[in-house]
C-alpha cells in the first residue's frame, strides 16, 4: 500500500510510501513500535479518502469547532503601516482558541474508527493537551495526558482545564521534566498498551504517518483561506505568512497555496532574545546572521567567532523523536535548549515537510524575536481589537516588517493561529519588566 498519489500538477504528493519528504521524515522508532505504527498507517490510508469518515469530520468541524473560521481584512493596521493589505485567517475564533483542535479531533475520530478506547498525548504548554481532552470528551474516549512537572507548575490553568474535561494528567519527573520527557513517557505507555491505545501527536512531527495526518487535518485552513481571499479580494495573496513551532498551522495554510507559484510562503520561527544570543528556537536561522557581532581580539584572531561556534545552537539534520529533520543542536550534537516567549514555538525540532519545502525553495523561513512579537501583539490589540496568541504574534510581526515596503494592492495573508487569552500573564510580566 502506498500513500503516494498524483495531484493535478503531476508532481507526486508527499510523503512517499516510506513517509519521506525528500530525504526527511520517515520512521525512526524502536522495533516494538513498528507494528503499532503499521496499524495507524493502514487505518489512515483506508480512511483518508473515505467519504463517511470525511463527512463525519467535516460535520464536527462545522457544528462543534466553528468552521469555517472567518477571514478578516486588517484595515486599520494596514492603513497605519501604509503599504500592503494584511488579511488574517482567524483560527483564534475556533473552539478552544487555536488551530490545534483541527488535528486533535481528526486523530481522535481516526482512533475511534480503529476501535481504540483510550487516547494518550503529550503536552508542553498544555494547548495540545486541552485540545485532545476536548476531543476525547466529545467522542467519549478515555484520555491520559503526559506533562512534565515543570510544565505543570508553569501552566496550572491548562492542567485544571484538562482535568475539568475528564482527562487524567500524569506528571513526568524524568529528565528536564518538560515536553521531550513527556513525549518519551507517552511512547513508553503506547508500547505497553498497543491494543487499546492511540497516541495523538500535537503537530506535524514524529514518525510517519503523523506529519502526513496532521498536515491533512490542518489543510482545511489553507483550503478555506484560498476560497475566502478570492471572494473578498478577488485574487490570490502575494504572500502567506505563518508562525512555525512544530509547523502544523503553517503547513495547514501553506497547503492551500502550494500549487500557486505566484504565492510566496513564509514561515516565522521564534527568534527569542535574538539569534546572536543563542537563546531562540529558530532552527532554520544561520549563525552566520550573527557574524557582524564578531570582533577581532587584540591578537587578530576571531576569538568570539569560535565561542559562537562552540556554544551556540544551530539547526542541523538529525534524528529526533521518530523522524529525520532539522534539529537545533549544540556543537557536540546534543539537543539544544531553546527559548521563546511563546511556549508553542519553543521546540528544538521542526516538521520534516518544512525542511523539504525550504530545500526546494518553495517556502522561506525567517524569525521574529520576543520583542518583535510583543510589539506585534500590542499593535494587533490596538489597531484591530484582536488579542492574538504570542505564537501568532510572530507571524504578525513579519507582516508588520514587510507591509510598509510593498504597494497598496499587495496582499499579505497571515495565519492567526490562536488567541492570546492564555498569554496575558506572560505579556503582563514582559510589559512591567
Ligand atoms: C501550538 C501552537 C502553535 C505552534 O504549533 P504549530 O504546530 O507550529 O502550529 C502556534 N500557534 C498557537 C496558537 C499554538 O497553540
- Supply the residues annotated as catalytic: 100, 122, 417
71-95+219-287+315-432 maps to which CATH number? 3.40.50.1100
pTM score of the predicted model? 0.93
Q: Are 189 and 197 in contact (CB under 8 A)?
A: yes
Backbone angles phi, psi at 242, to 5 degrees: -145, 150
Q: Residue 69 gets which letter from DSSP?
A: P
Per-residue pLDDT at 433: 59
Q: Which atom of ligand 1 has the smallest separation from the CA of 392?
A: 11
Give DSSP secondary structure letters for 371-398. Answer: HHHHHHHHHHHHHHS--B-HHHHHHHHH
Cα–Cα distance measured from residue 26 to residue 23, given in angstroms and rounded to the nearest whole number = 8
Q: What atom in ligand 1 is closest to the CA of residue 91?
A: 13
Q: Is 158 in the pocket of ligand 1 (CB under 6 A)?
A: no
How does pLDDT run across 310-337, given as a tens digit for each residue? Answer: 568 999 999 999 999 999 999 888 999 9
Using the predicted structure, report yes or no on whether residue 344 has a pLDDT greater than 60: yes
Model confidence over 21-46: pLDDT tens digits? 999 999 999 999 999 999 999 999 99
In the DSSP assignment, the letter for residue 70 is P
The answer, yes or no, to whether any atom of ligand 1 lies below 6 A from the CB of 124, is no
20-67+100-212 and 71-95+219-287+315-432, same CATH topology: yes
Domain boundaries, the chain: 20-67+100-212, 71-95+219-287+315-432
Q: Which CATH number is correct for 20-67+100-212, 3.30.43.10, 1.10.3720.10, 3.30.450.40, 3.40.50.1100?
A: 3.40.50.1100
Cβ 417 under 6 angstroms from ligand 1? yes
Residue whose CB lies within 8 A of the most ligand 1 atoms, among 161, 248, 282, 343, for a mutation test: 248
**Rounded average pLDDT over 113-129:** 96
Rounded to the nearest angstrom, the distance between the alpha carbon of 407 and the centre of ligand 1 is: 30
Residue of 88, 90, 99 to test ligand 1 pocket, by largest number of atoms within 8 Å of CB: 99
For atom 13 of ligand 1, which residue has the closest CA?
Answer: 418
Sole residue written with cell 505568512: 241
CB distance 265 to 356 below 8 Å:
no
CA–CA distance, 81 with 168 (Å, rounded to integer):
47
Task: Give the nearest ligand 1 atom to 345 CA.
Answer: 4
The DSSP H or E segment spanning 169 is strand 168-172
Amino acid at each position: 500500500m502506498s500513500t503516494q498519489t498524483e495531484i493535478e500538477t503531476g508532481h507526486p504528493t508527499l510523503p512517499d510510501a516510506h513517509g519521506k519528504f525528500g530525504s526527511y521524515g520517515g520512521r525512526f522508532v524502536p522495533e516494538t513500535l513498528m507494528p503499532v505504527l503499521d496499524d495507524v498507517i493502514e487505518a489512515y490510508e483506508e480512511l483518508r479518502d473515505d467519504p463517511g469518515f470525511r463527512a463525519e469530520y467535516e460535520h464536527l468541524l462545522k457544528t462543534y469547532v466553528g468552521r469555517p473560521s472567518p477571514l478578516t481584512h486588517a484595515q486599520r493596521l494596514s492603513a497605519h503601516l501604509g503599504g500592503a493589505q494584511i488579511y488574517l485567517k482567524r483560527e483564534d475564533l475556533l473552539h478552544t482558541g487555536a488551530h490545534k483542535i483541527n488535528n486533535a479531533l481528526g486523530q481522535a475520530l481516526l482512533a475511534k474508527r480503529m476501535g481504540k478506547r483510550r487516547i494518550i498525548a503529550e503536552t508542553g504548554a498544555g494547548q495540545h493537551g486541552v485540545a485532545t481532552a476536548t476531543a476525547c470528551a466529545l467522542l467519549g474516549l478515555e484520555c491520559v495526558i503526559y506533562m512534565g512537572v515543570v510544565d505543570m507548575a508553569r501552566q496550572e490553568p491548562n492542567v485544571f482545564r484538562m482535568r475539568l474535561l475528564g482527562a487524567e494528567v500524569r506528571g513526568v519527573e524524568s529528565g528536564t521534566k518538560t515536553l521531550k520527557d513527556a513525549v518519551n513517557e507517552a511512547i513508553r505507555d503506547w508500547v505497553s498498551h498497543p491494543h487499546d491505545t492511540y497516541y495523538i501527536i500535537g503537530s506535524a512531527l514524529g514518525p510517519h504517518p503523523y506529519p502526513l495526518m496532521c498536515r491533512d487535518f490542518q489543510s482545511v485552513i489553507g483550503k478555506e483561506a484560498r476560497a475566502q481571499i478570492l471572494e473578498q479580494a478577488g485574487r490570490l495573496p502575494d504572500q502567506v505568512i505563518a508562525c512555525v513551532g512544530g509547523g502544523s498551522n503553517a503547513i495547514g495554510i501553506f497547503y492551500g497555496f502550494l500549487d500557486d507559484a505566484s504565492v510566496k510562503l513564509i514561515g516565522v520561527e521564534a527568534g527569542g532574545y535574538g539569534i546572536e544570543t543563542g537563546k531562540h528556537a529558530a532552527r532554520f536561522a544561520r549563525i552566520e546572521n550573527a557574524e557582524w557581532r564578531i570582533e577581532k581580539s587584540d591578537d587578530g584572531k576571531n576569538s568570539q567567532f569560535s565561542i559562537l561556534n562552540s556554544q551556540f545552537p544551530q539547526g542541523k539534520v538529525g534524528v529526533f523523536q521518530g523522524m529525520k529533520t532539522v534539529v537545533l543542536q549544540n556543537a557536540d550534537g546534543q539537543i539544544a535548549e531553546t527559548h521563546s516567549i511563546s511556549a508553542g514555538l519553543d521546540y528544538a525540532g521542526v516538521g520534516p515537510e518544512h525542511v523539504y519545502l525550504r530545500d526546494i525553495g518553495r517556502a522561506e523561513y525567517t524569525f521574529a524575536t520576543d520583542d518583535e512579537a510583543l510589539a506585534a501583539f500590542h499593535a494587533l490589540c490596538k489597531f484591530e481589537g484582536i488579542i492574538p496568541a504570542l505564537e501568532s504574534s510572530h507571524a504578525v510581526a513579519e507582516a508588520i516588517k514587510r507591509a510598509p515596503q510593498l504597494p497598496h494592492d499587495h496582499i499579505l495573508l497571515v495565519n492567526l493561529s490562536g488567541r492570546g487569552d492564555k498569554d496575558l500573564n506572560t505579556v503582563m510580566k514582559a510589559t512591567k519588566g
